[in-house]
Amino acid sequence: MDINELINKAKNAREHSYSPYSRFKVGAALKTKNGMVFTGCNIENSSYSLSICAEREAIFKAISAGERDLDTIAVVTDSDKLTTPCGACRQVMWEFSKDMTIVVANLKGEKKEFKIKELLAHPFGKDPLD
């Protein structure tokens, strides 16, 4: 699966977003190293701390399905500026893949790739020397 197909899956997942408070729809599509794809969308709650980001939803779906070798995640918003994952999502990405590729894209067709190591400079890990 190429990166554009993954971005399209993230765009489709974005349509399922439940975001009545922020009105900021986010979709994510996560590809594992064996080629499986898991999607997610942001789901808000009036008690904001109970909300979940699209990225974490996709990752948690993969983990709960027994997948551990995560490869690439595409994150799509309708923002004019490309939007990178929040700090909580970055930490979760690090937990499950120290070499994950993150592709951020918008509905205008702009995209940019990062490695998790670029976005999370000093991660917290099991080993204090991670």
Helix (H) or strand (E) holding 97: none
Catalytic residue (choose from 5, 44, 55, 113) = 55
Tokens representing 64 are: 């709960």
Q: Which residue has the tokens 């080629």?
A: 35
Residues 72, 114, 75, 105, CA torsion sign: negative
Residue 5 falls in the annotated catalytic set: no
Pairwise CA distance, residues 57 & 44, whole Å: 12
| Residue 84, Cβ density class (10 Å: 0-12 exposed, 13-18 middle, ≥19 buried) | middle
Q: What is the CA radius of gyration of the chain?
A: 14
Residues with a catalytic annotation lie at 55
